[in-house]
Chains A and B, each alone.
Chain A
């Protein structure tokens, strides 16, 4: 696609539920990143994929958060047993090969846990 696509754009879920957030990177981009942006804050790194593998997952806050990228393109961020503190905008970014050139963000998924 022309840009990084994230779905859904908005998600409201009840506390304790499971959610999946999807990121479709720019075609051909091997590197994919997930960030979380809380209100009034800068994006905070969660996980980085190079191809199918998670090259760095040091930003995931706890074991309720997990992400996959099984075919090296689309990625899914999965959050189990959601908590109100998980409410934020989840941003995805991709780049051609893991460098800073061509690094592009998606519009994000706004997750609200009630």
Chain B
């Protein structure tokens, strides 16, 4: 089965700085990679995703990169704001069934 690893487990940055979270996956058949933001006690919310036919996707301050050969993908948040503080999860899935395999999460703290 798929194994997704995520680093770092905790990350603190100053407001305005960038934050990078990295994930690796093991199943070469995985072709969809979403990123979720989860605030304390709330549901996971999709913030950006990427499919295996592209290498990079950007949405305002958030970008995701994918290296299929190396089986790793990363989340980049620029100009961080205190409201970006949350736990971020990466995930990987195949088309079939679409159950997601999640990383263990990164707790991001943006210091004002």
Mark A residues whose CB is within 8 Å of B.
4, 31, 33, 35, 40-45, 48, 55-56, 59, 91, 95, 98-100, 103, 105-108
Contact = CB atoms under 8 A, between A and B. Distances in A.
A98 B98 contact: yes
A45 to B, nearest CB: 4
Chain B contact residues, majority secondary structure: strand
Interface residues of B, number: 24
A38 B36 CA distance: 16
A56 B97 contact: yes
B35 to A, nearest CB: 12
Given A48-B98, A103-B46, A108-B43, 15 more contacts: A4-B43, A33-B98, A33-B99, A35-B100, A42-B89, A42-B91, A45-B100, A48-B99, A55-B97, A91-B44, A95-B98, A100-B34, A100-B95, A103-B98, A107-B43
Contacts, number: 57
A35 B44 CA distance: 12
A29 to B, nearest CB: 12
Given A31-B98, A44-B102, A95-B98, A105 B44 contact: yes
B95 A99 contact: yes
Nearest to B2: A45
Nearest to A47: B99
A5 to B, nearest CB: 11
